Structure 1
Amino acid sequence: MNAFEYASPTSVEQAVRALAGAESSEGLSGGTDLLCRLKDSVSSPSRVVYLKAIADEGFRGVFAEGDGLAIGAGTSLAALLADEAIAAKYPALKQAARSVATPQIRNMATVGGNLLQRPRCWYYRSGFGLLGGRRDGDTARLVRELEGEYAPYNINLVGLPADGHLVRLGDNRYHAIFMTDGDALYVNPSSLAPALIALGATAEIVGPDGSRTVPIADLYRIPSSEGERELTVATDEVLTRVLLPPPKGKNAFYEIRQKQAHDWPLVLASVCLEMDGDTVRQASILLGAVAPVPYRAEAAEAALAGKKLDRSTAEAAGQAATTGAKPLSKNGYKVPLVKTAVKRALLRAAGDEYWTAMEA
């Protein structure tokens, strides 16, 4: 990796000054994402600012905030899992945190780091940018670079036209199935974001110009050109807290992956249901690992409104959640997984985990 300056501030104010005072900078918390990017030269900041030394009150831990909760961005996922208030009031968030990686990684990874990690797209991680391809016509060089090292991924660039898109023409099995008309075809990597958006959470961000509060969904955007970040949090800003409103009704999370051991999700769904007795008054249904941003399944939300939640209506909502899917050449399998993930997240919220008996 390239040489860089290192700063270890003890307050958010010092951290912001350190981040803003360099030509390019990155914040380091658990390091489960940044260290990999540094080693692969995907990110080459002139200064790395260590955020785990910040001792400001509220930056780490879970606290009552009115009738809701405040979670410090420096809180580890392991600490989040151990919090009784999270388990009692926001089971979707606990289920999402439990799905992340391994116990060892959850001990290091933080809430802020999970929300602001960069895409895991192998084209981006191989230096081809967020938009997944170069358009300079240098096909021969690209083939030489990828040949051998990426052979296990079946990336085939032979005959790639000058205006070709690596993701569309290559191995896109883990890429987006929604919002695929543009060039940004990676998937948002955060497991916590869909759950927090469904729960109506907001984020507090501090930068050189002061603090601001935004909905969790507004942390993300789809870049329109290479060099534009997919995060709205600037490199000289620090995400300090996540604020959860009082819980509304029932909430749950469900993830589908290839194996039960450490793996990235293929599809995940998080739901929050406001109920009138057994009837769904209003639903929030968010999908992850299917689009460049956490994806709201509006058709599924509409399909549930005014309905009694049971297996039949959950099945219909799952089917509705696939509305608008435009899979790429190798990831059409994700479409039925969306249906299953939404159906099971809804039934988990209702206390009907029928599949556990099937798996026993």
Structure 2
Amino acid sequence: MNAFEYASPTSVEQAVRALAGAQSSEGLSGGTDLLCRLKDYISSPDRVVYLKAIGDEGFRGITAEGDKLAIGAGTTLAQLLEDETIASKYPALKQAARSIATPQIRNMATVAGNLLQRPRCWYYRSGFGLLGGRRDEGSQEKLVRELEGEFAPYNINLVGLPEDGHLVRLGDNRYHAIFMTDGDALYVNPSNLAPALIALGAEAEVVGSNGKRTVPVAELYRVPTEEGERELTTSTDEVMTRVVVPAPKGTSAFYEIRQKISHDWPIVIAAVSLAMDGDTVSEASIMLGGVAPIPYRAEAAEAAIKGKAIDRSTAEAAGQAATEGAQPLSKNAYKVPLVKTAVKRALLRAAGDEYWSKMEA
């Protein structure tokens, strides 16, 4: 990695000044994402600002604020799993935290780190940018020269590569987006916590050189259209200080599909939050992860269950509705039925019917 200055502030105010005081800077908390990017030269900041020494009240830990729950941005994922209030009132959040990585990583990784991690797209991680190597100008010869060796393991077909190409569309896109694929940003949002927190209506507090602001967690993300634009709406001189989750409206659940049960990245995520009127759904929020550049709201699925009881039939219909608008790429159409299954099982988990657990036993 490149050399950089190192700062270890003890307050949020000092951290903001340290981040703003360099030409380029990155905040370091658990390091489970940033250290990999530094080693791969994806990020080469002039200054790294260590955030774990911050001692401001509320920056770490979980506290009740009236009927809301305040979660410090520096709280580890392991702490989320240990909290009794989260387990009893926000099951989707606990299930999301449990799904992340391994116990060792959960002891290091933080809430803000998971929400603000950068995409895991292998084109981005190999230096081709968030737009997956889109080329507005150039030659086939240049593209082939860039690809040779670098992407050999991914079996990209270089024969007949067009002059104006897009590496994700032309290459191995099995883990990329199936929604919002009309543009050039085809990576998927990498956060497990984001779909759950958005479904629960959470807000994030962010402090920067221009002061403090509060935004819905959903508004932390954007879809870049030009190379050099960030996929996060936070600026590099801002520090997330906490996440505030409103009182639960009813029940919630999270369901993830991955290739293997051991440590792996999710392929498809579904997080649901349901307000109930007796046995029927009065209000629903259904969020998908692993399928679009931002956490994706399944509005058709929400409409499909409103005013209905959750059973296997209505959950199946909602799962099917969740696939509306999917436009998979050349190698990831398999994600479409996975969306259907994830939404169905998240809804049934929220209703207490985990029938698949009996099948697996």
DSSP-derived class of the 2:30 partner: coil
Residue 311 of structure 1 corresponds to 312
Counterpart AA for 2:360: E
Question: 1:114-263 maps to which residues of 2 (within 5 A)?
Answer: 114-135=114-135, 136-263=137-264
Does 1:321 pair with 2:322?
Answer: yes
Q: Report the alpha carbon displacement of residue 25 of structure 1 after superposing the two structures with TM.
A: 0.4
**1:277 is matched with which residue?**
278
Offset, 1:152: 2.8
Cα distance between partner residues in 2 of 1:310 and 1:243? 31
Comparing 183-192 with 153-162, greater Cα deviation is found at 153-162
Rounded Cα–Cα distance in structure 2 between residues aligned with 1:347 and 1:288: 18
C-alpha distance in structure 2 between counterparts of 1:269 and 1:328, whole Å: 20
Please give the secondary structure, in 1, of the residue aligned with 2:78. helix
Matched, 1:295 2:296: yes
CA distance in 1, matches of 2:134, 2:2: 24
Residues 230-268 of structure 1 show CA distances to partners (whole Å, capped at 9, x for unaligned) of 000000000000000001111000000000011000100
- Give the C-alpha shift of residue 6 in structure 1: 0.3
Contact 1:100–1:106 under 8 Å retained in 2: yes
CA–CA distance in 1 between the matches of 2:157 and 2:100? Answer: 31
**In structure 1, distance between residues paired with 2:252 and 2:294:** 21
Decide whether the 8 Å contact of 2:200 with 2:245 is kept in 1.
yes
Letter in 1 for 2:240: L
Q: Distance in 2 between matches of 1:189 and 1:196?
A: 14
TM-score normalised to structure 1 length: 0.98
Trace 1:15-164 onto structure 2 (pairs within 5 A).
15-135=15-135, 136-164=137-165
> By how many angstroms is 1:144 displaced?
4.0
Letter in 1 for 2:319: G
Give the fraction of aligned pairs with identical amino acids, expressed as a percent. Answer: 83
Kept in 2: contact 1:4–1:46 (CA 8 A): yes
Structure 1 portions without partners, runs of 5+:
none
Distance 2:151 2:76 in 1: 33
May I ask how many residue pairs the two structures share in their alignment?
360
Q: Is the 8 A contact 1:143 1:158 kept in 2?
A: no
* Structure 1: 4+ residue segments shifted above 4 A: none
TM-score norm. by structure 2 comes to 0.98
Query: Within 1, Cα distance between the matches of 2:144 and 2:37?
Result: 22
The answer on whether the counterparts of 1:137 and 1:161 sit within 8 Å (CA) in structure 2 is no
Counterpart Cα distance in 1 of 2:150 and 2:208:
40
Q: In 2, Cα distance between the equivalents of 1:357 and 1:322?
A: 26
Q: CA deviation at 1:138?
A: 4.2
- Confirm or deny: 8 A CA contact 2:134 2:184 kept in the other structure: no
Separation of aligned partners in 1, 2:91 and 2:134: 43
Could you report, residue by residue, the CA deviation over 1:103-146 in whole angstroms, capped at 9, with x for unpaired residues?
11111100000000000000001111100114132433443443
| Matches of 1:149 and 1:124, distance apart in 2 | 12
Letter in 1 for 2:159: V
Compute the displacement of 1:148 (Å).
3.9
1:108 is paired with a residue whose SS is coil
Question: What is the rounded CA distance, in whole Å, between the counterparts of 2:222 and 2:113 in structure 1?
Answer: 17
